[in-house]
Amino acid sequence: MFPGTFNSPESVAAYKRFVAEFAVSPVSAAPIKGEVTIDYVLAAYLDRARQEYLSDGQPTDEIRHIETVIRAVHEVYGTTPAERFGPRELKAVRQTFIARRWCRKTVNAQTNRVRRIFKWAVSEEMVPPSVYHGLQCVDGLGVGSKEARDHDPVRPVDTQTIAATLPYLNRHVAGLIRFMSYTGCRPSEAARVRRTDIDMKEDTWEYRPPRHKTAWKGGKRVILIGPKGQELLRGFFTPDADDYLFSPIHATEECRALRAAGRKTPRYPSHMKRNQEKRVTKRKRTPTGFYRRQAILTAVARACDRAFPAPAPFGRMPGETVRAWRARMSDADRAAFARWRREHRWHPYQIRHTFATDVAREHDIEAAGIVLGHAKLDVTQFYVEKDMKKARAIIAAIG
């Protein structure tokens, strides 16, 4: 780039133009030699996304989705000139999503992220506008599509099932589940509860999670905590207000203390030294400050398996090893076992639906929407289970 003779009006104007463009977009301000490949666009967009999709200084879940999409596009069309990415190429990438057996909603959402990448590339003048216009012509998969399945709607889980599972969870995961039941908050919000984020001035406490689903859009989230929730949280308070109340680190420490208290033989100095060495060198996973999404799902799934063990003949017999059990299982037994698990497992996201249904039943759907923090009531409709008992009573009276 040659802006002109030093200190000439042309060079000064070119310099000011470069500085202005660089402030808007460092990538597009730099001159590009040769054809712009799709990999170049993907790398530039990922850099931009990692700066934009942050909450409380940490990357949001959107980054994980974007990285998945970028890997998929890179594997198929990474070296292709970006301006040649059209509707057929988008459909080919979408087919890789379908091949992964993603549900229809996820396939459409990831396809839209691909479009968004090229929309941004157009705004940075990396590709001509016709590229994005072509991608807009590709319709999303409709309801009932034979190419990708639809997920069953999330149903509430009854409180008796939750109660039967809690004894098989450690104290911290069980407390997290109870907190969700008392407040209707999301698992990610419950996992990050800290005393410093709770306003305890009023009779009803207010918890403002620094990270939540709509934080990246500037949304505000207030979770109200009543007497039951307050009593629960007090049992997890620590001297440090910045500690996560439901903590894998504290759960591990409590487990070790409980195991040590149950020892029948005394602990000699050599035992304690050896145990300390094993903790430092042999640990496969180091506990994090708060429970991650997958850790909560796994803990609840395992607790369900223990609370509702599969019966014979497809369940494990007393004293039977896992290897022996798997060896004797027929295809029919495996199908029956999978069906049993589906019917007797629940996941933490169902608790929010249970909470919404109970609030709507006792009060109304508007109250449920306010407590759940929804900006629109049509969102609340997805969380509220239709009360067929009430419907039957109405028809019995008027029909």
Segment 334-338 mean pLDDT: 91
Give pLDDT, residue 13.
60
Measured distance CA(313)–CA(362) in Å, rounded: 43
Return mean pLDDT, the chain: 82
CATH fold label, 159-247+289-344: hpI Integrase; Chain A (1.10.443)
At CA 164, angle to CA 307 and CA 194, rounded to 5?
110
Q: Would you say the CATH fold of 159-247+289-344 matches that of 32-135?
A: no
Each residue's pLDDT tens digit, 340-352: 988 899 999 999 8
Listed by start position, the domains of the chain span 32-135, 159-247+289-344
Segment 135-156 mean pLDDT: 86
Taking 70 as the threshold, does the pLDDT of residue 18 lie above it? no
Each residue's pLDDT tens digit, 53-97: 877 677 888 899 999 999 999 999 999 999 999 999 999 999 999
* pLDDT: which is higher, 98 or 279: 98
Q: Which of 250, 195, 189 is nearest to 222 (CA)?
A: 189
Each residue's pLDDT tens digit, 253-291: 878 777 777 776 776 677 677 777 666 555 556 666 889
Q: Which of 154, 77, 67 is nearest to 113 (CA)?
A: 67
Measured distance CA(81)–CA(35) in Å, rounded: 6
Each residue's pLDDT tens digit, 99-129: 999 999 999 999 999 999 999 999 999 999 9
Strand 198-199 with 58-59, pairing: unpaired
Tokens of residue 31, six digits:
């001159």
Each residue's pLDDT tens digit, 230-244: 999 999 999 999 999
Architecture of the 32-135 domain: Orthogonal Bundle (1.10)
Listed in sequence order, the residues at least 6 apart from 71 whose beta carbon sits closer than 8 Å to its beta carbon are none
Each residue's pLDDT tens digit, 187-215: 989 999 999 999 998 888 889 887 666 55
Give pLDDT, residue 241.
92
Dihedral pair phi/psi, residue 276, rounded to 5°:
-65, -40
Each residue's pLDDT tens digit, 31-55: 455 678 999 999 999 999 998 887 7
